[in-house]
Homo-oligomer: A and B are copies of this chain.
Amino acid sequence: MSEFKPLDPLLHSQLRLAVMSLLLSVDEAEFTFIKEKTESTAGNLSVQLDKLEKAGYVQIEKSFRGKRPLTTCKITQVGVKAFESYVENLKKYIT
């Protein structure tokens, strides 16, 4: 077996990795908060969150705050596991 295990392509992406990292550190986070913290554009973030959701790595809830739409994100247990194993694999590349 190779030293270099495959890196989950869903996590091996700067923005998605930043999003996951952020979501690991909080209970949940709003779309705009993630956007600011990651310094991403809304469009890009929207697309990447979609992918993470489709993979079951995050859970996305749409609601309203007052009259405006509010998108809230939470990492799932599947997401946590995937992140951890990604990091384990990655370590073999960087140490």
Contacts and interface: CB of A to CB of B under 8 A. Distances in A.
Looking at chain A's contact residues, is the secondary structure mostly helix, strand, loop, or mixed? helix
Given A21-B93, A90-B94, A93-B21, A6 B14 contact: yes
A18 interface: yes
B93 A4 contact: no
Interface string A1-40: 0111011010010100110010000000000000001110
A87 interface: yes
A92 to B, nearest CB: 8
Given A2-B37, A12-B12, A21-B93, 7 more contacts: A4-B14, A4-B39, A6-B14, A7-B14, A12-B14, A17-B94, A90-B94
